[in-house]
């Protein structure tokens, strides 16, 4: 388990691969898996997808 850098929700990276992009179940931010053996995630690089929402 590690924590979301945005909202500190518990994030499990079990079964994931380094570099994988996941979403925080709490705040839905994009997170990149940095490490699995010593669970660590970081905010994924923001890709601006402005589709005129
Ligand atoms: Zn979060």
- Model pTM above 0.95: no
Looking up tokens 């931010």 gives 29
Euclidean distance between CA atoms 17 and 19, whole angstroms: 6
Domain boundaries, the chain: 2-43
Euclidean distance between CA atoms 25 and 38, whole angstroms: 20
Ligand 1 centroid–CA 47 distance in Å is: 17
- Phi, psi torsion values for 25, nearest 5 degrees: -70, -20
pLDDT at 47 over 90: no
pLDDT at 35 over 80: yes
Condensed to tens digits (0 to 9), the pLDDT of residues 3-27 reads: 999 999 999 999 999 999 999 999 9
Ligand 1 centroid–CA 53 distance in Å is: 22
Q: 2-43 has which CATH code?
A: 2.20.28.160
- Phi, psi torsion values for 33, nearest 5 degrees: -75, 120
Ligand 1 centroid–CA 22 distance in Å is: 11
């Amino acid at each position: 388990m590690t924590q979301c850098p945005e909202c500190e929700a518990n994030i499990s990276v079990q079964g994931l691969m380094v570099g994988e992009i996941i979403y925080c179940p709490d705040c839905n931010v994009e997170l990149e898996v940095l490490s699995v053996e010593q669970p660590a995630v970081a905010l994924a690089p923001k890709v601006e997808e402005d589709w005129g929402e």
